[in-house]
Amino acid sequence: MKDMNKKKNNKNKIIALVCMSFHQMAGGIERQIIRTTIELNKFGFDTLLLSFDNEDAESFFDMPSDIKWIKCGFGLKPFGYASKIERIKQIIKLRKVIVRNQITDIITFHHGIYPRILFASCFLNLNNIVSERNSLDNYKYIKLSKFNLGFLSLFFAKTITVQLEQYKKDYPKFLQNKISVVPNFIKKPIGFYQEPNFDSLVVSMLGRLSYQKNFEPFLDQLNETYLKRKINLKVKIAGDGELMSVFKNKYSRLIDDGLLELQGKIKDIDNFLRNSSLFCFPSLWEGYPNALVEALRIGLPVVISKRLSNLHQFVENNINGLVVNDNEIFTKTENLINNKNLLNEMSKNSFIKYQNLYSNYPHKKWDRIL
């Protein structure tokens, strides 16, 4: 009866989930926003999606027919430059969208685009929530100062959500009372353990071909080793991005000889991962690592960077994977992929890790916030 009353009350709310763009974007943030929208609908909320796309935009991932997607680009490119006058016009039009759709709560996915939402919703008495997608460690690796307009705008949010408890301490103390820890919605666990294809000798990687994902140290070491001797593994990377042409040129020999396969954007992630022996995850920074989580669901052992060693909920050294330095990532991966007994043991532990992650389902946490 209590859940029924909650659902009834939730119908009075209209929740907008906002991100920069869905147009042909195959990243974790896009998958996560669609999944969150679906789950909030199940909980009785009336939800819609807002993005800074234009009307001709098409989502790479399937968008459920009952999800309303409003494109608020108004002629400006989502990631492109705009003059102050153009940006003000966009914000005014966005405000009209908010009023017209009687939006009561806005969840903005990361603080970079929050200033636009803040200005557009000014004096409308909305519940403004910023759902962070990255650890603040990202500011160690990018040129932008931490105290930029987006970060400073967090002071005006009613609630900030971070994905893991350990991220709270990275924020100023006077912001921490606004912070709620809300993990991502993730898929249901697979019903029973199935051993991955260890005979494939495939090292899989999944993510945007970008600076953040840091694939190059592994590929450079693979390239250098291949000049000296035969290598008994292959690497498959699913993802697209600004470094695609760079990788095709830089690692052309690996590609031509069948040691490296750049698969581009894919929809069937489970099938891609099932045909792997292990998963390599060398990112510079992450928030809630969706690609890693999907690998755990399949039961893949993981080789992860020491930079991410605080993600112990996902990977523990010598339990379900290896936590390594960049300069040894290829050697450690090659040794592991040829040790089937250790792969099997780590694989089962990865499967258990996923089940533990799933048990911390965020329905009630979102309901409390909204």
pLDDT at 4 over 50: no
Band the pLDDT of 64: cuts 50, 70, 90: confident
Q: What is the pTM of this model?
A: 0.92
pLDDT digits (tens, 9 = 90+) for 333-369: 999 999 999 999 999 999 999 999 999 889 899 999 9
Query: Is the torsion defined by CA of 102, 55, 36, 119 positive or negative?
Result: negative
Q: What is the pLDDT of residue 264?
A: 96
Q: Helices then strands (H, E): number in the chain?
A: 14, 13
Q: What is the pLDDT of residue 10?
A: 57
For residues 240-254, one letter each, b for 16 or more C-beta atoms within 10 angstroms of the residue's C-beta and e for the rest, the string is: bbebbeebeeebeeb
Query: Is the torsion defined by CA of 321, 297, 170, 151 positive or negative?
Result: positive
pLDDT at 21 over 60: yes
pLDDT digits (tens, 9 = 90+) for 80-127: 999 999 999 999 999 999 999 999 999 999 999 999 999 999 999 899
Parallel/antiparallel/unpaired status of strands 68-71 and 105-109? unpaired
Q: What percentage of the chain carries pLDDT values higher than 70?
A: 97
Q: What is the pLDDT of residue 7?
A: 53
Q: What is the pLDDT of residue 1?
A: 47
Distance CA 344, CA 56 (A): 47
Q: Could you tell me where the beta strands, DSSP code E, fall in the chain?
A: 14-19, 46-51, 68-71, 105-109, 127-131, 159-162, 179-181, 202-206, 234-238, 260-264, 278-281, 302-305, 321-324
pLDDT digits (tens, 9 = 90+) for 119-173: 999 999 899 999 999 999 999 999 999 989 999 999 999 999 999 999 999 999 9
Contact partners, residue 340, CB within 8 Å, separation at least 6: 198
248-267 mean pLDDT: 97
Distance CA 130, CA 110 (A): 6
Distance CA 42, CA 151 (A): 32
Query: Is the torsion defined by CA of 110, 116, 120, 125 positive or negative?
Result: positive
Band the pLDDT of 247: cuts 50, 70, 90: very high
For tokens 């908010």, the residue is 98
Band the pLDDT of 304: cuts 50, 70, 90: very high
Q: What is the pLDDT of residue 300?
A: 98
39-46 mean pLDDT: 92
pLDDT at 2 over 70: no
pLDDT at 9 over 70: no
Q: What is the pLDDT of residue 66?
A: 87
Q: What is the pLDDT of residue 361?
A: 85
Contact partners, residue 24, CB within 8 Å, separation at least 6: 58, 59, 60, 265
- Higher model confidence: residue 10 or residue 71? 71
Distance CA 268, CA 331 (A): 29
Output phi, psi for 63, to 5 deg: -100, 115
Band the pLDDT of 187: cuts 50, 70, 90: very high
